Amino acid sequence: MFRPEIKVIDCTVRDGGLMNKWQFDDKFVRHVYNSLSKAGVDYMEIGYLSSEGMFSRDEMGPWKFCAEEDLKRIINGSEKKIKLSAMADIGRIEYHDIPPKSESSLDMIRVACYVHQVDAAIALAHHCIDKGYETTINLMAVSTVGLRDLDEALADLSKSRVPVIYLVDSFGAFYSEDIETLAKRYMESLPGKTIGIHSHNNQQLAFANTITSIICGINYLDATLYGIGRGAGNCPLELLLSFLKNPKFKVRPLIEVIEHEILPWSKKIDWGYFIPYMITGVLNQHPRTAIALMESENSHKVTDFYDQATSVS
């Protein structure tokens, strides 16, 4: 599928960091940065933008903050061939802590929010636009949102100046037909805007639903190396770039960095398709109970977990 409007956003460090509190060392982050650049990926989301003091640097690695000095250390004086993005959560970044674009190596700030936070998200995103950044709003957990609330949120977003709005399958609950239905609704409700997709792999559908999104006209595509990410993980970037027929994309640099940086992490942390994540995905539930089970010594006790998750009492 060659469509020049398509942009690919790698979320390896930002979403993968949810598993290890962003404790990736500079060698890892620099290798990912250089490999994504060689692969022709459009954006690298390198972490979260958080105010210092909101979290402890003793506990959280540098990519929870994305301070300019940390970004500069990764870029290391080389010519920047990939745009850098950071995600901002409502309430975790003070407006005055966001530097003007001219003083930052970041190109894009993506505001993540739930449907009840849309007004705050638009205000923050407008602030970022006014400081010179590209901006998106990533509307999370829409699989649990009623149609009236969703339409109201989309109506508010349509009136905003934010150019890119994301459909986020936070729980990995969507089938392709859900993606088709929602993509249509987003397009109709958000004329003139670009739509993005961020999927999760609880039902082994993250890549398939991203393909469906492309067919539906969605142009901003999130993925991570080898699907790394919290819980069931994400759409694997190496599959996505193999599918896209744009000759600017190269798969080999992705295979190389997976071998040297991602496979070693796969020995230390489990992500991907596991029965507890499958169960929360099928049931359209937040994966927190599945993550807790997987981190316990009872990770194999999936029948008990199924019984608890499906209990109506």
250 to 269, contacts with its own copies by CB under 8 A? Answer: 251-252, 255-256, 258-259, 263
Q: Does residue 305 contact residue 290 with C-beta atoms inside 8 Å?
A: yes
Q: How far is CA 19 from CA 61, 90, 174, 225, 306, in A?
A: 12, 20, 23, 14, 23
Contact between 183 and its own copies per CB under 8 A: no
Q: How far is the CB of 240 from its own copies (least distance, A)?
A: 10
Contact between 226 and its own copies per CB under 8 A: yes
Q: How far is the CB of 65 from its own copies (least distance, A)?
A: 32
Contact between 301 and its own copies per CB under 8 A: yes
- Closest by Cα among 149, 205, 146, 148 to 180: 205
Nearer to its own copies, 120 or 215 (CB): 215
Q: Does residue 68 contact residue 113 with C-beta atoms inside 8 Å?
A: no
Nearer to its own copies, 62 or 236 (CB): 236
Out of 76, 181, 204, 246, point to the residue binding its own copies (CB under 8 A). 204
Q: Quickly list DSSP for the chain.
A: ---TT-EEEE-HHHHHHHHHTT---HHHHHHHHHHHHHHT-SEEEEEE---BTTB-TTTS-GGGT--HHHHHHHHTTSPP-SEEEEEEETTSS-GGGSPPGGG-S--EEEEEE-GGGHHHHHHHHHHHHHTT-EEEEEE--GGGS-HHHHHHHHHHHHHSS--EEEEE-TTS---HHHHHHHHHHHHHHSTT-EEEEE-B-TTS-HHHHHHHHHHTT--EEEEBGGG-SSTT-B-BHHHHHHH---TT--SHHHHHHIIIIIHHHHHHS--S--HHHHHHHHTT--THHHHHHHHSTTTT-HHHHHHHHH---
* CA 251/CA 236 separation, integer angstroms: 12
Mask 82-111, x = binds its own copies (CB under 8 A)? ------------------------------
- Choose the binding region for its own copies from 22-30, 89-97, 140-148, 295-303 (rule: CB under 8 A): 295-303
Contact between 81 and its own copies per CB under 8 A: no
Contact between 238 and its own copies per CB under 8 A: yes
Contact between 239 and its own copies per CB under 8 A: yes
Nearer to its own copies, 42 or 238 (CB): 238
Contact between 278 and its own copies per CB under 8 A: yes
Q: How far is the CB of 175 from its own copies (least distance, A)?
A: 7
- Choose the binding region for its own copies from 3-11, 13-21, 46-54, 297-305 (rule: CB under 8 A): 297-305
Nearer to its own copies, 161 or 301 (CB): 301
Contact between 271 and its own copies per CB under 8 A: no
Q: How far is the CB of 208 from its own copies (least distance, A)?
A: 3
- Choose the binding region for its own copies from 6-14, 47-55, 150-158, 205-213 (rule: CB under 8 A): 205-213
Positions touching its own copies (CB under 8 A) are: 175-177, 201, 203-209, 211-212, 215, 226-227, 236, 238-239, 242-243, 251-252, 255-256, 258-259, 263, 272-273, 275, 278-279, 282, 300-303, 306-307, 310
